[in-house]
A = this chain, B = another copy of it.
Amino acid sequence: MQFSTRAEYGLKAMVNLAEAYPESRPIQQLAKEERISVKYLERIFGILRRSELVVSHKGKSGGYTLAQKPNLLKVGEIIEALEGTIAPMGCSSSACSQKDSCASSKVWGILEKQVRKTLYGIKLNSLLK
């Protein structure tokens, strides 16, 4: 079970933005400070923006700002937006025809619930230095 670096980079950058809150920061700066490819981080922030976790400001002296206060933003929201889902197996959340008869789907169900509980229990401000 592995999250991709998308989640790692995105979370790092979000923590960085939380430190700047309510100021905004451009991708350039975030990428430099967190040692991430600028272009890749641009795409990651496309996802975060469309998920309304972040607000963009175009043009000179533009950049990104957290859409909410750091103490309201849950890490689970960020991870879920970046990874697409938190479910450890496709069958655990979506409609699986054998759901009832399948013993292992019980495991994925329990696990997803736990992971979700854990990640939604962590607020962004608790990660500040």
Binding site for B on A (CB under 8 A): 1-3, 7-8, 11-12, 15, 75, 79, 83, 85-91, 101-104, 106-108, 110-111, 114-115, 118-119, 122, 127-129
Task: Check B127–A103 contact: CB distance below 8 A.
Answer: yes
B3–A103 touching, CB < 8 Å? no
Question: How many monomers of this protein are in the complex?
Answer: 2
Task: State how many angstroms separate the Cβ of A83 from the closest Cβ of chain B.
Answer: 6
Query: In the complex the two chains form, is B12's CB within 8 Å of A103's CB?
Result: yes
A1 & B115 in contact (Cβ 8 Å cutoff) = yes
Contacts of A103 in B (CB 8 A): 11-12, 15, 127-129
Whether the pair A11, B107 counts as a contact (CB closer than 8 A) is: yes
